[in-house]
Structure 1
Amino acid sequence: MTETSPPAPAPTPGARLTCPSCGAEVTDAERFCEACGAPLSPTTEAVAPGGAGAESPVELSGRVGATAVGAAPAPPAPAAGPPCTSCGGVVDADGYCTTCGTKAPSPRDHYVEQPATWVAAVCDRGIRHHKNEDATAVAADPEPGSRAVLVVCDGVSTSTDSDVAALAGARTARDVLVAARASGLGVAASRAAALAQSLGVASAQANEAVIANTAPESDNAASCTFAAAVLEGDLVVFGTVGDSRVYWLPDAGAGDPLQLSVDDSMAQVRIEMGVDRVEAENGPQAHAITKWLGRDSTDVVPRTGSIALGVPGWLMVCSDGLWNYCSSAADLQALVATTQAETGADPLPLARALVVWANAQGGRDNISVALARHA
């Protein structure tokens, strides 16, 4: 049984609430700060100027820590946001245009990450969903081709608070895998086994993070998929739960592209029964997953595997918002090659262009693309 902290007391009715990251005023119903985009889990009662402070929660890359404070200064005024995208009017502190009433886009709707020149990720709401329940979390050493961690979690849209839970899960898994360096293991098989074990730990801890971001009284618990890959030189070790995927896409003519992961989905069940891939992935309940992370999950052990890379190409981890439109590894390799011819080999413009392409195909789901370049 996991021991959890008791819930924070409810704010006093009428009390002013602030974002723990930037001090902007928020409401107790908001999950993300409209001023800076930080997750609001939890929001905190504002400390009166000059009042004595104890320890207050502070969001650091998705983890709640504690910092000692003394006399708390008055919270800074929120920076002026961009004008309304509909009419150019002023967007108020509540995130709505004071002229036409349109809600401003949330920073959570679209964000990018590029921890090193050779690794990047783009996460986008898509066109049809009203919020982004995908999440990416990536890390990399500075030297190209040295070590990278790519994580994608796709929140299940039919469950509650999956956007918050997926982000917490992805960041937790990334941190576990960043720390999991198989030092002293010079044999590739030993390194692969150690990293596969770390992927199991990462999935389990990501599951705990998802649960921690699920309201205890929720009868529709937050849930998400899990896909992660670690690149160390020529070695890739990967693990998945659900139907987010890991692909190896060599440069055109350099080798055969591969879908490394195997989905936990009804479509995969039908494929294993002999149904044609295209038919299975477009049939009834094709995207119903058979494993996931969340409080109501019975199995969060990832399917793992490894591969040695001998040629240049792209390691990709993505959600079904991309592969919905380009499922086979051969088709995805061709798409990446065509897109790279226009964007160049920088992973961030390439990932952005792939997201734009998926939206142009209909954007019916959230889209996540994480890339690492192997030269």
Structure 2
Amino acid sequence: MTRSHAKNNTSGSVFTYYERNRTEYGSKTQRIGADSMKKIDACYLCLNSVRNPVACSKGHIYCKECIISSLISQKAQIKAHQASLESYAAEEQLEREKARAEARDRVLRDFERGLGLGGAKIAAKPKALAEKKVELGRDPAKQDVSVKLIEGPTGDERGVKRKFELDESAMERLAREAEDAALKAIEAEQAESRRAKLPSFWLPTLTPEATIGPLKDVKLQTMCNVGEHPHPLALKNLLPVHFTYPAASKTDSTKATPICPSCSREISNATKSILLTSKRPAHEETTDGPAPSKKAKKDKKDKEEVVCGHVVCSTCADTIVKPGKQCPVCEAHIRPDKDVIELGREGTGFAAAGGAQAKREGVAFMP
């Protein structure tokens, strides 16, 4: 009773379960039936049976036409985003230059104001010192004293006159420090002026002390958006997929269910299926000779293409493919640690198979 009241304490007692689910308030969960699940051989973009199927490195299957169209549209969006980032960077540069110029003007105003306030005292000191020198200079006995008072002792004693030197680097450093101090003072004044204008003080980005930092270097690239965590995807990294269908349904494979070419077991969302991605055909032989360089290995790896792409069930992959290290269909060489990818699959409508619930997050403001 307590838990139910804590979850629904802002809802009226006249609300029914159906009406509460229809509202756009709070988090919503919905169980998904078998009719809403994608088939194992269906495209993640068009949701139809795949035509010329390809897969990414995570095992997500697409029609080749669909994924190429998606990558082209993503590249167009990336170009537009790059143009906006360049305009933002130019605006930031102008803002920094404007702030620097304002800080420099403040330093100059403070310097001029200081000279104006202390000008009379500074001008009076040389005159008083000259009068004192004349008075002391009248008496020959005090002539040496006058010289000592003005010029100071000679030799290695303290107070000897030294030549004033100020190089250009020191001047630039002092000017830069003064500009930085003035810039910090300007930012503090702006934060103080914003304090009374921002009612949403609890938001970290809207606090008076918050400053808009520089744009971070974002690596713009095409992505595979299937799953909770999207990952980078390029056209050259797409892997071919070859499903095997029963002999009686080769003419119309859109209504048939793919099978494992080794054991003829149906492949569906209820079973794990493995994609074999070998780049070494069966007739390839190892050559004896000197080991190739790293550059030669890299060039050869870039030029290699996937020659297998057959889909088998997980049982055959564990009992036949991995121990024998070759595909049961084309006999291509298989590396168990690199050339085996589990295909992505959705649930079956049952809770035990997973993927049977969809959730939408929402914010519920409690009074």
The interval holding the TM-score normalised by the smaller chain is under 0.3
**Which protein is richer in helix relative to its size?**
2
Structure having the higher Rg: 2
By percentage of residues, which structure has more strand?
1
